[in-house]
Amino acid sequence: MNLFEYEGKALMREYGIPVPESHLIVSEGEAAPMAFPFVLKAQVMTGGRGKAGGVKVCENEADYEKYAHDILNMEIKGHRVHGLLAEQMMKAEKELYLSITLQGVAKPTLIASRMGGMDIETVSKENPEEIVKLEIDPFTGLKGYQLKYLAKKLGVEDKQDLFEMVKKVQDAFFKAGALLVEINPLGLVDGKLVAMDSKFVIDGHARHMQGKLSELEEAREKLHAYKAPEKEATTITYVPLDGDLGLISDGAGTGMLTLDLLNDAGGHVASFCELGGMTTEEVMYRAMDLTLTGHPEVKGVIIVLIGGFNRMDNMALGITKYVKEHDVKIPIFTRMCGTMEEVGLETMKEAGMPTYNILVDTVKEFVRTVEGGAGECQS
């Protein structure tokens, strides 16, 4: 389950992670919740809100009324804004990047950089020497020597403050059943580290978090135009990784095979969705949404489906509906075969979305198209 920024920061407070003072605004006409000036931030399940005009500084009441109206009525990358976060302004002396994530079946990994506030995928490609990756032992956590190495690489003078921040983020990651906790930027404000932004993805299958997740869903009902996702979406297993490609499969075996083929072809997966059990059009639609919003900078999606119980006509309807409603421009490569295959292929064809046949060739062409910058296409 992807959390809005305000939800992620509420969780961070529970685990002692310093965050700016903030207040949620759910509709126009609410009184300014704090003294001016403050920042108004769109609450939306996608990235790029700053460039889209979804982050504004309110200097006075007139600013607040205008920006609240404008932002609450906008869409960002096809996603409706569901609320606003009014947050105290902070000037960071330094901006870092810090996250803990699960990378496939490997150990949880801390990723950090002194180049915070930037797109981490861009930093990884253009300045790989600025990326720190440390595997975390889930039983003992990060070791002392790892923390000292991290402080040196990040150029942090107050090592104890950094150590405490990392330990709190680590604690939040494991106790919240998270798949990803990301802070970008992690700002140095008045000599102390503060989580100035938040990205939280919680494992929907974590039993100890079921009550918390239900509370979050219920609380979201008051948000502007918010609609809870279909319950069938609980059949999806979503795993965020550290690449830039999306992968959706309807089985673990098919998914892992495709993941290996992508790696062999030089591709790196960012979001991996496995569709479990009897899959419907709605579940396929939700998988598309998770893959594209769970990692907003994903550059292309490959969908590999082998229909036994699942019907390819339903899969095709879910794919084409999502692409149409969200005006998806990145490459979508689909390989489907099995039950109701002919109908599914015809639906894809009518939507102008070609399908592919041989998996190995499909993967190679997909990586060439996306990583080679072959331009916008849908397939």
User: Do the Cβ atoms of 46 and 75 come closer than 8 Å?
Assistant: no
Last residue of a domain, one of 35, 64, 88: 88
Are 56 and 169 members of one domain? Answer: no
* 366 in the same domain as 234: yes
* Residue with more model confidence, 138 or 184: 184
Pair 187, 233 in one domain: no
Q: Amino acid identity of 82?
A: H
147 and 132 in contact (C-beta within 8 Å)? no
Note whether residue 219 is domain-resident: no
pLDDT band at 207 (very low <50, low <70, confident <90, very high): low
Based on the fold, state whether residues 192 and 238 are members of the same structural domain: no
Same domain, 354 and 238: yes
Number of structural domains, the chain? 3
- 280 and 167 share one domain: no
Instruction: Convert the pLDDT of each residue in 54-83 to its tens digit.
Output: 999 999 999 999 999 999 999 887 788 999
Per-residue model confidence as pLDDT tens digits over 106-152: 678 999 999 998 888 788 889 999 999 999 998 899 999 999 999 99
- Print the domain residue range for 150: 94-202
Residues 100 and 186 grouped into a single domain: yes
CA dist 245 and 206 (Å) reads 25
Domain stops at, among 40, 69, 88: 88
Q: In terms of DSSP bridges, do strands 332-338 and 300-307 run parallel, antiparallel, or are they unpaired? A: parallel
Query: Which domain CATH number covers 252?
Result: 3.40.50.261
Residues 246 and 164 in one domain: no
Q: Is residue 227 scored above 80 in pLDDT?
A: no
In a shared domain, residues 73 and 119? no
Which of 186, 202, 218 is the endpoint of a domain? 202
137 inside domain: yes
Residue 272 resides in a domain: yes
Whether 110 and 125 have beta carbons less than 8 Å apart is answered as: no
pLDDT of residue 330: 93
Residues 279 and 195 in one domain: no
Strands 300-307 and 245-249: parallel
Question: Is 211 contained in some domain?
Answer: no
Q: What is the pLDDT of residue 206?
A: 67
Whether residues 160 and 252 share a domain: the answer is no
**89: CB partners within 8 A, 6+ apart:** 37, 38, 39, 57
Interval 248-266 mean pLDDT: 88
Residues 331 and 236 in one domain: yes
